[in-house]
Structure 1
Amino acid sequence: MSDTIQRFTFAKLPIRGEIISLEHSFTTIVEQHEYAAAPRQLLGQALAATALMAEIIKIEGKVALQVQSPSTLKLLLTECTHQGFIRGLSRLDEEQSTDALDFAKWTQNGQMAITIEPNQGKRYQGVVPLENTTLASCLEDYFQRSEQLPTYIQLFASDSKVFGLFLQALPGNSQDTTSLEDKVGAFEHVKTLAETLSAEEALATSHQDLLYRLFHQDEVTIYPEKPIEFQCGCSRARNEQALATIQPEELVQMVQESGGQLELVCDFCSNKEIFTEQDIMTFLSNTAPSTSIN
């Protein structure tokens, strides 16, 4: 199964949808860290959800999902760009974690943030408390609060595959003559059909076959696949930007106390960049403000 996301619509129902499957990109991400099965599956769900949101929101830029709590799940962070590049990480208190995924317990008293960061324009962030028992239901709550649109999300993950389904009522416009009652009825009809989907079926069946099985009586149009792939985005230049935020005297002291070199490790992909003392001195020399004499 390839890593793809696809949009679909209904000919006679005011509902839009997205469907996603991840395999290679998911395993690439989780195998960079020694995640146990349960946090691995939760990270997979978050990766699929973030890609679904990025496709629905349709900006040129990046969408990020972040979950934090004082309980077991200290941090869950996933990102997806408009090109379909994803990355993510998870940090748990292993002493409090269990063998099975327990989202409500892991995120007790936590919060979820959705950040929309366009390449051009203003950054937006919405934050909601985590008051539901699954990541999918928390995201449904977020869309209900932020857009007041009925939304249904399915997220399934195994050790090696991830599946996601997104359904949402279309916003009205001045030409829309569909009554609110009919819109609610249409959405409930489609949601009821989607709820018959099992994890086993979702993870083993093609998008086209799944959508036919679920909605063949509702004239579904499925659009071309868009590839999804892992891409971290870390680089030596980005590490230099981070070093530039540290005072020069402190930076020199850091490298000297570290035995003559700094090792910067990317939290997402575990890539290592080494900066020797000579590298630091050259970097500081190149970034030092210039002075002119009149």
Structure 2
Amino acid sequence: MSDTIQRFTFANLPIRGEVISLEQSFQTIIEKHAEQHHYNSAQRQLLGQALAATALMAEIIKIEGKVALQLQSPSAVKLLLTECTHQGYIRGLTHLDQEQLTDSLDFAQWTQGGQMAITIEPAQGKRYQGVVPLENSELSDCLEEYFVRSEQLPTYIQLFASDDKVFGLFLQAMPGNSQDSTSSEDKSAAFEHVKALAETLTAEEALDISHQELLYRLFNQDEVTVYPEKQIQFQCGCSRERNEKALATIQPAELIEMVQENGGQIDLVCDFCSHKEIFTEQDVMTFLSNTSPSDSVN
């Protein structure tokens, strides 16, 4: 199984694109959550679409750091969070209200009254977040609206997911420059041309054939250049050190009381990968003694 993302450009059209396929990483994430969540097909599809979309954004934005997609609503999707780093490491989690879920994916109903946040967090520099309301019938439509609002660039996104595989297609008009002599009308016509071809893509094609074959079927008359594949894989950033830092933000007296009330230990389970870290009372006393006052939040 191959999890890859590929960029492509057109020789004579001011448009850039990406395709992504996820299989092993998607299945791994589902399996990591299996003990806590029993995802049906519709829930898998939503999580899969969000994972693919986040990886597409991380690749197009091209920063050293990570990009996160977060959905929150008072409806079925209480929280959906997916992240992708510039190295191609992805992870994701969901908190769903089972009583409000339908058997099939109904994005508008599941997220009614909610909002979507895109967070760009470079390793060096300022963190940026853009927020848009969830007012569309598909996640892809919400993402297209985000790019139009934030970058003023026509964008088209397709997301397909089955129980065990995900596919994503991203098309975007290229930013203009002072040497660009192409008229806005020509740019608009070029984008509509490529978008119309992309709209003929079916879920069966997207999930079953290779990137190269798919792009040839769609754009064989438009001289597409496909760039080398980049590997995508699941990796969680949780660690015992991070958990210690989280516990260190709690007042020492309160933390010791928590340990004593929980049978002499604190169990921390990662929402992303379900890995459990156990901190005994001795562990807590040790790292508290090694934590300077400036390391804690009062």
Name the TM-score, length of structure 2 as normaliser.
0.96
Task: Tell me how far apart the structure 2 counterparts of residues 252 and 93 of structure 1 sit (CA, whole Å).
Answer: 33
- Asked if structure 2 preserves the Cα contact closer than 8 Å seen for 1:149 and 1:169, the reply is yes
Structure 2 counterpart of 1:132, from 112, 130, 136: 136
Counterpart CA distance in 1 for 2:292 and 2:200 is 63
Aligned position for 1:191: 195
Mapped to 2, the partners of 1:95 and 1:48 lie a distance apart of 26
Which whole-Å CA distance do the structure 1 matches of 2:80 and 2:283 have between them? 33
SS of the residue 1:5 aligns to? strand
Superposition deviation, residue 40 in structure 1: 1.0
Paired position in structure 1 for 2:290? 286
Aligned-partner SS, 1:67? strand
**Cα shift at 1:288:** 4.2
Superposed CA offset, 1:185-215 (max 9, x none): 0000000000000001100000000000000
Q: Distance in 2 between matches of 1:73 and 1:289?
A: 39
Residues 31-88 of structure 1: CA distance to partner in whole angstroms, max 9, x if unpaired?
Answer: 2222221111100000000000000000000000000000111011000000000000
Alpha-carbon separation, structure 1, partners of 2:31 and 2:196: 36
How many residue pairs were aligned? 290
Q: Identity over the aligned pairs, expressed in percent?
A: 81
Query: In the alignment, which residue of structure 2 is the partner of 1:160?
Result: 164
List gaps (5 residues or longer) in structure 1: none
Aligned partner of residue 287 in structure 1, secondary structure: coil
User: Match for residue 23 of structure 1?
Assistant: 23
The answer on whether the counterparts of 1:39 and 1:90 sit within 8 Å (CA) in structure 2 is: no
Q: Which 4+ residue blocks in structure 1 deviate beyond 2 angstroms? A: none
Report the aligned-residue RMSD: 0.9
Query: Partners of 1:197 and 1:90 in 2: how far apart?
Result: 28
Matched, 1:114 2:111: no
Q: What is the alpha-carbon distance in structure 1 between the residues aligned to residue 201 and residue 31 of structure 2?
A: 28
Equivalence map 1:173-188=2 (5 Å)? 173-188=177-192
CA–CA separation in structure 2 for the residues paired with 1:258 and 1:243: 15
Distance, in Å, in 1 between the alignment partners of 2:188 and 2:92 is 35
Stretch of structure 1 that moved more, 157-166 or 28-37:
28-37
SS in structure 1 at match of 2:192:
helix
Moved more, 29-38 or 158-167: 29-38
Q: Any residues of structure 2 matched to 1:25-64 within 5 Å, and which?
A: 25-33=25-33, 34-64=38-68
Counterpart code for 2:86: H
Contact 1:75 1:91 in 2 (8 A): yes
What is the match of residue 74 of structure 1? 78
Q: Tell me, what secondary structure is at the counterpart of 2:228? A: coil
Q: Which residue identity is paired with 2:159?
A: L
Aligned mates of 1:91, 1:200 — CA distance in 2:
29
**Cα deviation, residue 183, structure 1:** 0.3
Partner Cα separation in structure 2 for residue 35 and residue 112 of structure 1: 22
Structure 1 residue aligned with 2:94: 90
Give how far 1:175 is off.
0.4
Indicate whether 1:215 and 2:236 are aligned.
no
* Counterpart Cα distance in 2 of 1:229 and 1:197: 25
User: For 1:115 and 1:97, how far apart are their aligned partners in 2?
Assistant: 26
How far, CA to CA, are the matches of 2:175 and 2:239 in structure 1?
A: 40
Q: CA deviation at 1:289?
A: 4.4
Residue 145 (structure 1) aligned with residue 149 (structure 2): yes
Q: In the aligned structure 2, how far is the partner of 1:190 from the partner of 1:117?
A: 31
The letter for the 2-side match of 1:139 is: L
